[in-house]
Amino acid sequence: MTSSVYEIIIKKKRGFELAREEIEYIVNGYVSGEIPDYQMSALLMAICFNSLSAEETACLTLAMAHSGDMLDLSPLGFCVDKHSTGGVGDKITLIAAPIAAACGARVPKMSGRGLGHTGGTIDKLESIPEFSTELSYDDFIRIVNETGFAIAGQTANLVPADKKIYALRDCTGTVDSIPLICSSIMSKKLASGANGIVLDVKFGSGAFMKTPEEAEKLAKAMVEVGKLAGRRVSAILTDMNAPHGRAIGNSLEVIEAIQTLKGSGPADLEELSIAVAAEMLCVAGRGSEKKCFKLAEKALKSGMALDTFRRMIELQGGNPRVIDDTSLLPCAAYEEEVLSDKGGVIDEMDCEKLGLLSLELGAGRKTKDDPIDHAAGILMLKTLGDSVAVGEPVAVLYSSRPGIDMRAAADKLRAALTIISNGKNKNVNNILKIIKGIDI
């Protein structure tokens, strides 16, 4: 006989392991409305304090994944997906996906919108005039067949359990639990149907996981769940103590992605994008790490990845001329150069503050129905470890919001930077380690 919700809450509160039937009963009961928010909140809080074992996390993830549509990608053969746990200025998908596709991988990608201080791939792509992220199943498959990749928004019925549980976690202080984050992310990845998954797990001031240790725990939990579900999974731990590249905000990030695909982007962004694309190729069984790295590098340098990106834009209804003329992307009404009030070396960047500032300038939403300004955001002229003189420009802010106080916004940007006078220029190591769930 299945335990009651009350008994299940008490069991977890006392630190005991829940059975698969109990977890399925909770997920199905909560999605159907039979289990009320107050009981689910109590259970989520008990999970925050007493955690879940690897088996419980896998059961929760699978129950959530099966709560709605499971995408059938079998017409495409072996498919590989990538997922970032969320960062600031994170446009890696826009570069790594066309690189992997240009090397022959199949990348049918379902992406999300911005969440909290972090940006979302769908919002970035929608800054391209006429670009559509709402694709029918048939169009999605056709475009991947033709270009190797397509990027669409999540369908309405993809993991309804996560939509409901995430909204509850957001307002009950239960977001920061590794098994809950793991099941939220991996349920969506499993339901999206790819056979291989590369997880970009970020740590640092702009990430949900603030320390490398927490990020590693999350990465290992996600790789384990992926393995138990029969998928080929790898996780890359990446540093989010500085934005990736220099641009934060939708059209600014598309421009930077195009520059990187043309070979003239920031070095850190190019390095990370090649590493993620190479890992996607490894997971897709294209050979050794060294070979996949060389393939990815060649696809970028030869312009093949840029051509793949151009074709994908065209097939998704967007104007492919943005590749050659980025002035076709939206432009902000106001611009403010931010001058440094200190001299020295940038020793720390509070990326969460930078993400929130970009959101305030109009690049993100405070509530889910807020419209966004695709041209708004921040272009950093200096980054972590750079020297800066008093009065030197460190960033440019962009916004079209009527009445926006750009000077106050400039003060907020300065407050996000720690500049020390006796600091040394430092090299930032973007990739901490790769955790493989497969033998390559």
Comparing CA positions, the residue from 298, 252, 317 lying closest to residue 94 is 252
Between 86 and 98, whose beta carbon lies closer to ligand URA?
86
Specify whether 82 is catalytic.
no
In this structure, what token pair is assigned to residue 239? 């540093």
User: Hey, which residues between 56 and 85 contact ligand URA (CB under 6 A)?
Assistant: 85
User: Hey, which residues between 269 and 288 contact ligand URA (CB under 6 A)?
Assistant: none
- Cα dist. 257→125, 250, 251, 305, 328 in Å? 11, 11, 10, 11, 15
Between 54 and 381, whose beta carbon lies closer to ligand URA?
54
In this structure, what token pair is assigned to residue 351? 């990326």
Give the three-class secondary structure for 192: coil
Between 175 and 432, whose beta carbon lies closer to ligand URA?
175
CA 256 to chain centre: 17
Specify whether 66 is catalytic.
no
Between 184 and 399, whose beta carbon lies closer to ligand URA?
184
The least distance separating ligand URA from the CB of residue 111, rounded to whole angstroms, comes to 11
Which listed residue (131, 140, 208, 309) binds ligand URA by CB under 6 A?
208
CA–CA gap between residue 274 and residue 298 (Å, rounded)? 10
Between 162 and 239, whose beta carbon lies closer to ligand URA?
162
- Number of neighbouring beta carbons within 10 Å of residue 423: 15
The Cα angle at residue 242 between residues 407 and 264, in degrees rounded to 5 = 95
CB 130, CB 87: distance < 8 Å: no
Between 12 and 117, whose beta carbon lies closer to ligand URA?
117
Comparing CA positions, the residue from 225, 272, 258 lying closest to residue 87 is 272
The least distance separating ligand URA from the CB of residue 64, rounded to whole angstroms, comes to 11
Binding string, 79-118, against ligand URA, x = CB under 6 A?
------xx--------------------------------
Specify whether 184 is catalytic.
yes
Between 54 and 175, whose beta carbon lies closer to ligand URA?
175
Specify whether 358 is catalytic.
no
The least distance separating ligand URA from the CB of residue 13, rounded to whole angstroms, comes to 22
Q: Per DSSP, what are the bridge partners of residue 344?
A: 388
Q: Per DSSP, what are the bridge partners of residue 337?
A: 396
Give the three-class secondary structure for 353: helix
Binding-site size for ligand URA (CB under 6 A) equals 7
Give the three-class secondary structure for 347: strand
Between 86 and 330, whose beta carbon lies closer to ligand URA?
86
The least distance separating ligand URA from the CB of residue 296, rounded to whole angstroms, comes to 26
Please identify which residue in the block is written with the tokens 């993991």.
159
User: Hey, which residues between 421 and 440 contact ligand URA (CB under 6 A)?
Assistant: none
The least distance separating ligand URA from the CB of residue 205, rounded to whole angstroms, comes to 16
Among 109, 124, 188, 231, the active-site one is 188
The least distance separating ligand URA from the CB of residue 176, rounded to whole angstroms, comes to 9
List CB contacts of 7: < 8 A, sequence separation 6 or more.
none
In this structure, what token pair is assigned to residue 238? 């990446």
DSSP calls for 84-143 = E---SS--HHHHHHHHHHHTT--EEEEE---BTTB--HHHHHTTSTT------HHHHHHH
Among 11, 169, 189, 246, the active-site one is 169
User: Hey, which residues between 127 and 186 contact ligand URA (CB under 6 A)?
Assistant: 175, 181, 184-185
The least distance separating ligand URA from the CB of residue 196, rounded to whole angstroms, comes to 19
The least distance separating ligand URA from the CB of residue 181, rounded to whole angstroms, comes to 4
Among 11, 12, 83, 286, the active-site one is 83
CA 315 to chain centre: 23
Specify whether 109 is catalytic.
no
52 near ligand URA, rule: CB under 6 A: no
Among 90, 162, 239, 373, the active-site one is 162
CA atoms within 13 A on the CB side of 163: 13
In this structure, what token pair is assigned to residue 216? 């590693």
CA–CA gap between residue 322 and residue 315 (Å, rounded)? 14
Q: Provide the residue type at 388 as one letter.
A: V
Question: What are the residue numbers of the active site?
Answer: 83, 162, 169, 184, 188
Rule CB under 6 A: which residues touch ligand URA? Answer: 85-86, 175, 181, 184-185, 208
